[in-house]
């Protein structure tokens, strides 16, 4: 393990502009630097690097962080790998904690070879693969193997003097009540590679009717299920060349699709597509085709993936295999043309989400129609303003309603980069920015200023109060259009916000039917006192 001290030392040698410009071209823009974001496709630069704050932020996709985070995401490296890379870039040496023993990764390679050899001698496993239509070439290409009994694997490790602690670290074995046992028993094995081509774990399919049809290596230091994609190391070249990636649900789908020539197919490792997969999916800027089963679980997974991918501005769409088909079966049945047609015509993510939401509701029932509208409005708000505009008319048509009912426009970090804000919006954001830049003011300000006093940006103020590290606020910090107030300016602005607020409150009390005459008098007097105080500038944030 790298020592804390040397990480701190490394950090002090990092300049974010210097580091990022070694990967992408940065252009000076005011106090900051700009570029087209390397994490999402765009033609006008919304990726900003701040030399003062030593952070980057993308107004388009919300990506952001420091030098370490950038290199980690850009190069798809683990944290220690990133530190090592940065250390060599800036010529700083790292110290390692000597108590930490480096894991010998050759063990998993040896186990993989062992599983492959076992397959050759196991007729049952071989005939299973043959029945599924998997060719010998694919078996070799994907290094498919077979794990026999637990004692076989344990004996193999022992007779080859392999380190059992390392084997456990890699999730090959575990210890239970009766000692060591192997995790993969009577299963077809699929080695899982990291993007840089090293084996990090296995997937296993039972052929003897074990409870779980598929299992994976447990989460280990090297094996993070929600970041890896099965087959990526083999698919990489085609993905870059064809600018398309097919994401399926299963190992066999990947093997069979490659066999049929779709060598840009990958699969998630028995998990849903998550935020953590996105940096890997983003590589090479491919169009993403989510190819899932038409059963309830598959549709639900495709729906979630579409929400995630449309929100993160991925191009591509969904292909659903209905009638119990899956890509592997279709290849086995030689339906290659049909597959080709399906993959070349995916349903765009946003359309898929809209249709699926609408299908859930009975549009003949006004109340259900209202719920559908509400759900779709909420979804629209997560998209960019242009897409909101585009899709609001589609939704209106599908729901057969007036398009005025669709609420386009909602604050998101993309919009604050635009100068076309209302003046109230700017005033409110400027207050928030002033506090962000002078956090010591927060305690005083929050005594006077509550979330409901904001007309437009109450959400952002609420974020500032409860989650000041949030990315959306980083966007505001770097926004050149919004310049923080001086203390005097802040006092003036607060006064201008609070006077109409309290004046309105006093009016409201007059008409409040829940208050007795006496209560109204007391409350009014309180508020009038407060108002006088504010007007006489007793409200001073110092
Ligand atoms: Zn971006």
DSSP 2: B
* Residues near ion ligand 1 (Cβ under 5 Å): 37, 39-40, 58, 60-61, 63
Measured in Å, residue 45 CA sits from the centre of ligand 1 at: 9
Pull the structure tokens for residue 411: 């604050």
Measured in Å, residue 47 CA sits from the centre of ligand 1 at: 6
Quick one: pLDDT at residue 379? 87
Measured in Å, residue 357 CA sits from the centre of ligand 1 at: 27
Contact 142, 175 (CB under 8 A): no
Query: For residue 413, what pLDDT band results from cuts at 50, 70 and 90?
Result: very low
- CB within 8 Å of 212: residues ≥ 6 apart: 206
Q: What is the distance between the terminal CA atoms of the chain, rounded to a whole angstrom? A: 46
212-251 per-position pLDDT tens digit: 889 999 887 678 888 889 999 999 999 989 999 999 999 9
Mean of pLDDT values over 274-298: 88
Measured in Å, residue 288 CA sits from the centre of ligand 1 at: 17
Pull the structure tokens for residue 541: 């944030």
Measured in Å, residue 41 CA sits from the centre of ligand 1 at: 7
Task: Return the HEC string of 305-364.
Answer: HHHHHHHCCCCEEEEEECCCCCHHHHHHCCCHHHHHHHHCCCEEHHHHHHHHHHHHCCCC
Across the strands, what pairs with 216? 203
Contact 478, 471 (CB under 8 A): no
Pull the structure tokens for residue 521: 């008098």
Quick one: pLDDT at residue 143? 97
Measured in Å, residue 46 CA sits from the centre of ligand 1 at: 7
- CB within 8 Å of 365: residues ≥ 6 apart: none
Task: Give phi and psi for 184, each to the nearest 5.
Answer: -105, 110
Measured in Å, residue 536 CA sits from the centre of ligand 1 at: 47
Helices (H), 58-206: 67-75, 79-89, 106-120, 123-131, 136-141, 150-159, 164-169
419 class by beta-carbon count within 10 Å (0-12 exposed, 13-18 middle, 19+ buried): exposed
Measured in Å, residue 313 CA sits from the centre of ligand 1 at: 9
Pull the structure tokens for residue 261: 């020539």
- Answer whether 0.75 is exceeded by the pTM: no
Measured in Å, residue 290 CA sits from the centre of ligand 1 at: 21
Quick one: pLDDT at residue 418? 44
Measured in Å, residue 63 CA sits from the centre of ligand 1 at: 6
Measured in Å, residue 312 CA sits from the centre of ligand 1 at: 9
Pull the structure tokens for residue 187: 């299963």
Across the strands, what pairs with 316? 288
Mean of pLDDT values over 502-510: 87
- Cβ neighbours around 168 below 10 Å, total: 17
523-535 per-position pLDDT tens digit: 999 998 888 888 8
Separation CA 118–CA 146 (nearest Å) = 6
Measured in Å, residue 464 CA sits from the centre of ligand 1 at: 22
Of 226, 244, 227, 225, residue with least CA distance to 235: 244
């Amino acid at each position: 393990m790298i020592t804390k001290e040397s990480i701190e030392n490394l950090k002090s040698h990092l300049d974010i502009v210097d580091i990022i410009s070694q990967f992408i071209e940065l252009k000076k823009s005011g106090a900051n630097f700009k570029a087209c974001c390397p994490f999402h496709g765009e033609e006008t630069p919304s990726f900003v690097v701040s030399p003062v704050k030593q952070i980057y932020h993308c107004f388009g996709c919300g990506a952001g962080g420091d030098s370490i985070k950038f290199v980690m995401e850009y190069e798809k490296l683990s944290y220690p790998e990133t530190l090592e890379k940065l250390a060599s870039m800036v010529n700083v040496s790292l110290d390692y904690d000597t108590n930490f023993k480096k894991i010998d990764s050759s063990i998993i390679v040896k186990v993989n070879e062992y599983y492959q050899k076992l397959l050759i001698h196991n007729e049952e496993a071989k005939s299973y693969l043959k029945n599924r239509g998997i060719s010998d070439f694919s078996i070799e290409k994907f290094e498919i193997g077979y794990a026999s009994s637990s004692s076989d694997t344990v004996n193999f490790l022992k007779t080859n003097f392999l380190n059992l602690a390392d084997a456990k670290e890699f999730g090959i074995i575990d210890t239970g009540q009766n000692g060591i046992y192997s995790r993969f028993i009577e299963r077809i094995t699929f080695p899982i590679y990291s993007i840089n081509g090293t084996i990090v774990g296995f997937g296993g399919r039972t052929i003897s009717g074990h409870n779980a049809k598929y299992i994976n290596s447990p989460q280990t230091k090297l094996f993070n299920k929600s970041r890896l994609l099965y087959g990526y190391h083999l698919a990489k070249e085609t993905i870059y060349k064809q600018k398309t990636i097919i994401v399926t649900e299963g190992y066999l789908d990947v093997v069979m699709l490659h066999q049929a020539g779709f060598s840009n197919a990958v699969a998630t490792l028995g998990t849903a597509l998550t935020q953590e997969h996105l940096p890997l999916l983003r590589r090479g800027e491919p169009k993403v085709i989510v190819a899932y089963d038409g059963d309830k679980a598959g549709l639900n997974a495709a729906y979630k993936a579409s929400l995630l991918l449309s929100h993160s501005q991925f191009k591509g769409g969904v292909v659903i295999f209905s009638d119990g088909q899956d890509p592997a079966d279709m290849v086995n049945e030689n339906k290659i043309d049909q597959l080709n047609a399906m993959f070349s015509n995916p349903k765009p993510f946003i359309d898929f989400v809209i249709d699926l939401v609408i299908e859930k509701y009975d549009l003949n029932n006004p109340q259900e129609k209202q719920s559908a509208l509400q759900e779709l409005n909420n979804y629209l708000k997560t998209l960019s303003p242009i897409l909101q505009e585009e899709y609001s008319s589609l939704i209106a048509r599908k729901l057969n309603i007036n398009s005025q009912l669709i609420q386009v426009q909602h604050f998101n970090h993309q919009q604050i980069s635009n100068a076309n804000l209302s003046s109230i919006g700017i005033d409110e954001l400027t207050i928030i920015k002033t506090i962000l830049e002078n956090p010591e003011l927060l305690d005083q300000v929050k005594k006077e200023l509550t979330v409901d006093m904001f007309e437009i940006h109450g959400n952002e103020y609420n974020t500032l109060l409860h989650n000041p590290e949030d990315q959306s606020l980083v966007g505001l910090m770097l926004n050149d259009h919004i310049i923080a107030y001086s203390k005097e300016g802040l006092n003036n602005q607060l006064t201008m916000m609070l006077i109409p607020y309290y004046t309105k409150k006093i009016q409201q009390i007059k008409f409040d039917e829940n208050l007795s005459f006496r209560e109204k008098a007391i409350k009014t007097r309180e508020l009038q006192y407060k108002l006088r105080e504010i007007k006489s500038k007793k409200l001073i944030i110092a």
